[in-house]
Amino acid sequence: MLPYFQHFTSPIDGIILPTKFTFPFYYEPDQLCKIAAKELQNYLESQTDFKHNFGLEPLKKGLIIGKMFGVLVVENSKKEIGYIAAVSGKLAETNTHKKFVPPVFNMLTKDSYFLKEEELLNSINNQIEILENDVDYLELKEKLIQETEKAKIDIKEKKNTLKNLKKERDLRRIKAQMELQREEYAAFEEKLSIESLEAKYFFNNVTRYWAHTLKSINCELSIFSNQIDVLKETRKTKSAKLQQYLFNQYQFLNSTKETKNLTELFAKTTDQNPPAGSGECTAPKLLQYAFLHDLKPIAMAEFWWGKSPNTEIRKHKYFYPACQGKCKPILKHMLSGIEMDTNPMLNNPAVGKELEIIFEDDDLLVIHKPAEFLSVPGIHIQDSVYTRIKQQYPKISGPIIVHRLDMSTSGLMVLAKNKKAHKNLQSQFINRTVTKKYVALLDGNIDDNSGEIKLPLRVDLDDRPRQLVCFEHGKSAETKWEVVERKNNTTRIHLFPITGRTHQLRVHASHYLGLNTSIIGDDLYGKKENRLHLHAAFLEFTHPSTKEKISFHKKAEF
């Protein structure tokens, strides 16, 4: 039997095979994928083939690393339906496993070029570390800092003295001009010139002294720094060469056996350089093995196993799409020629939906935006609040959109009908004087009744539009919240965003440092349902013309 091909242990008779392959970047797992994933999860819960700390057992030792696993339902040459499985990256420090297909390129093969070069790079790193921590080198660096500071102070003092002496000579010259005869003044002027030259000579000697002193220290330092620079340049060159070697070794097949490497696949992307870890995700591994062994891909799904990373949101056993940054160029090639499900992001979800006008005057509109309705035109879909309002109010002026709601979020939006109103309203949002209240239904119970979340956010550059919690580069994001009701293992809460970052409420709800409970229907940070149960229910702001506080409320439909 073909290695890694697994027959279903669960009954699958009567299950209709999908007619098109999974669109990997947005999907609802096929029933066969769910069964395969469940069988794989059963294995992970009981296996003794490898030791790895997923963070699911509190007392287990070792670094906690959750992992993405994938299943690919396939048909073999005997027309048998089964599945193959893969894990993202290496697992338990190896790429060789009983249940998981091998990587596209195994850089960890014993005595491989990669390992030899990696060992050499590690040796260079060690040499650099030894030199940079050498006691004499550190003492010289400190001495250079101290002597440089002394030189600055001394030269500054001497320069001030030089200026003061010049001022003094100028005063003496003026006085002499008034008191001395011509011949006496000429002799006096010559004396002043000599004093000036002596002062400048002394100052120049001081600067030369410090230049010599610092040069001497730098010469001693260069014995170390030159070695370090040579090692770093060697490391840079070897690292780039090794990286290019790896890019070329990752050769990806498609259904027609056409191969392309990472360099070729990412040549037309914005950065051109493949992100770290490209080709190590589960989807390329699964498809590569299938094409190598003439297995027909039927359907695919990926799920997370273990504790979530600190930055991105990954829930244990939840299904996730393939990442955009690392996998999109690869899968575009690997899946070429295979009929796939339609990309749902190309379909306009706003068809048949209408905007409800809650309030209108000469300056503004307050509307209710339905769920799955864009605030502004997207890359593929133009239909949006902006385009609808432009059509409905052809004479409206200004940018119109003051703030946005996520496509999946329903609720109240205030729109400006002229530039003056837009500037005023936008200023209120920027200065955080607008009161906003959202209603959300969480997929589980939370213990506390109220609180505040402060988790900075930034975009996930490898998987837009997902957001990451990032304390180093993220923008500040703050949300207050309070529980309204707990019922049937769900929690209804009110959310009060102080800031307005992209996906702020969704991330703050789902992240383990936030509420650690996803909003029901959150297809990015939780589980897909009929809709995202997040609604902008209340808005209060100052009218741009009357300067009166006005408020609006719209009850959630869930």
DSSP 282-294: HHHHHHHHHHHTT
User: Using CA atoms, how far apart are residues 372 and 406, in angstroms rounded to an integer?
Assistant: 8
Identify each DSSP E strand in 392-434 by its residue range. Answer: 410-416
Write the DSSP symbol of residue 16.
P
Assess contact for 241 and 235: CB atoms under 8 A.
Answer: no
**At residue 136, what is the residue type?**
D
**At residue 37, what is the residue type?**
A
User: Using CA atoms, how far apart are residues 366 and 364, in angstroms rounded to an integer?
Assistant: 7
Give the helix, strand, coil percentages of the chain, each rounded to 5: 35, 20, 45
Assess contact for 128 and 232: CB atoms under 8 A.
Answer: yes
> Under 8 Å CB-to-CB from 555, ≥6 apart: which residues?
537
Residues in the chain: 558
User: Using CA atoms, how far apart are residues 478 and 27, in angstroms rounded to an integer?
Assistant: 31
How many other CB atoms are there within 10 angstroms of residue 19's CB atom? 8
User: Using CA atoms, how far apart are residues 121 and 307, in angstroms rounded to an integer?
Assistant: 32
DSSP 146-190: HHHHHHHHHHHHHHHHHHHHHHHHHHHHHHHHHHS-HHHHHHHHH
Using alpha carbons only, give the angle 74, 21, 275 rounded to the nearest 5 degrees: 95
Q: What is the dihedral of CA 218, 219, 224, 225, to 10 degrees?
A: 50
User: Using CA atoms, how far apart are residues 532 and 495, in angstroms rounded to an integer?
Assistant: 15
Assess contact for 232 and 129: CB atoms under 8 A.
Answer: no
User: Using CA atoms, how far apart are residues 184 and 212, in angstroms rounded to an integer?
Assistant: 42
Of 436, 419, 430, 406, nearest to 538 (Cα)? 436
Of 384, 362, 357, 381, nearest to 373 (Cα)? 384
3-state secondary structure of 422: helix
Assess contact for 441 and 492: CB atoms under 8 A.
Answer: yes
Is 460 an annotated catalytic residue?
no
Using alpha carbons only, give the angle 462, 465, 469 rounded to the nearest 5 degrees: 75
Of the residues 136, 361, 406, 443, only one is catalytic, namely 406
For tokens 């133009």, the residue is 382
Assess contact for 104 and 277: CB atoms under 8 A.
Answer: no
> Under 8 Å CB-to-CB from 302, ≥6 apart: which residues?
68, 69, 70, 71, 282, 283, 319, 320, 321, 322
Q: So which residues are the catalytic ones?
A: 406
